[in-house]
Amino acid sequence: MSQKISKILIANRGEIALRIIRACKELDITSVVIHSKVDSEGPWVKKADKSVLLEGHPVEVYLDYENIIKIAKELKCTAIHPGYGFLSESADFARACDKNGIIFIGPKAEHIELFGDKITSKNAMKEIGVPVLEGTTMPITDKKEAQKISQEIGFPVIIKAAFGGGGRGMRVVHEAKQFDSLFDAATNEAKKYFGNGDMFIEKFVSNPRHIEIQVIADKFGNVVHLGERDCSIQRRHQKVIEIAPSPSLNNDVRKELYRIAIRAMNRLGYENVGTIEFLLDEQDNIYFIEMNTRLQVEHPVTEIITGVDIVQRMIQIAEGDKLHFLQEEISFRGYAIEFRINAEDPLNNFMPSFGTIGEYLTPGGPGVRLDTSVYGGYSMPPNYDSMIGKLIVWALDWEGVVKKAKRALDEYYIEGLTTNIPLHKEVVCDESFQKGIFDTGFLDTRVEHFALINTIAPTKDKRISSFISKLMQKGLTSEKGDFI
């Protein structure tokens, strides 16, 4: 049964809240945002049709779904969009919305729950014929048993939080003598971030490519894919740069990934937007690793090469609408790259950098999109992650998009915070990146080299003067930026 959505409560903050507000405006839907006290000056708060201040801890207010639902009912909101992070993958939240007669803009609670448990989802995908990595099929907490299983699988193995994500609660073990300490570290991190220390073990694939497939499905059994994204450029299992389509993927492998994704979603009866993530080894063997039952941070690159507004489609499917297009009607054009611009110091173990932004100059021009919620004078609060925004560039071919990225990154200037923009500038100048050749080990093996390269050349550019100052203190460079 279809139900027109007239007012949406956005249970999130920052650039994703602003992104949803924009989708609402184009669909003539009233937008309501909730916000913490420290977020009061956020532009999304000012651009929404209505905002509600939530008193309390800056993070916990975005996680208190009972209070969020209460506010939605009081304001007569017909739906809630969770964005990403916070409550976006909470099956309990989705069920509570349904129980209270509010549309949850996302998949069904049963699918959120299924894919929130990495072991159960892996087993479910294996049952319907999706290839997976060898490993445990049940959660494990006993360290001795876990080590025994790891020896049977054969090192290297990867220890993963059964209820985790985002690279947390994850450790790679290359030999048996490392196992005990790394198992403890992964378990403790999982307990800290996810409140659950259940782990699972699987065979580790060295330096694979990380490819994900964006799918959209309606309530009538129609499923389409919007192509793939290459998310191989990561730091410690956390994505840094995302690309659509992958510049080095074999076309036969690409078609097989699409086939697997569509078939799996049809078999499971999935609804709304989702992303299926795979690892590909050096022989192009495909392995399912997880599915994200929400809007992805990197969704803009897919929107740019397909012309499909993913956020609007989420809302319309939640209303009960059918897909507006068949698979053969979706066209793919050019290449897009997304750079996650973070307030962090690559020279200091990527330590977050918080404070007030001074002069703020943004890139623009043809083929440049910037999804952000900061401005000159904005104070980055220390309560949330350090992402300033997402710089997305597009061009018809790979060489063109790399050149576009160089130009856009060079235009982006943020005073008052240390950012990872210089690191991104080094990546796009890397010969392997320019050839479209990279895997998940690309950044971790280069990051120290990149940080030094950034400060070698003489420069008057104040964007990287802080890097030079730090190297001068270490005796690695002269005042002119010459390497010692």
Write out the catalytic residue numbers. Answer: 294
As a dihedral over the C-alpha atoms of residue 203, residue 116, residue 164, residue 72, rounded to 10 degrees, the angle is: 160
> How far apart, in whole angstroms, are the C-alpha atoms of residue 406 and residue 398?
13
Q: Identify which of 55, 7, 53, 12 has the alpha carbon closest to the alpha carbon of residue 31.
A: 7
Name 53's Cβ contacts closer than 8 Å, sequence gap at least 6.
35, 36, 37, 40
β-strand pairing of 387-395 with 79-81: unpaired
The amino acid at residue 415 is E
> What one-character DSSP code corresponds to residue 205?
P
Contact in structure between 392 and 338 (CB atoms under 8 Å):
yes
- b/e string for 286-321 if b means 16 or more Cβ within 10 A? bbbbbbbbbbbbbbbbbbbbbebbbbbbbbbbbbee
Helix (H, G, I), strand (E, B) or coil at 145: helix
Beta bridge partners of 389: 341, 372
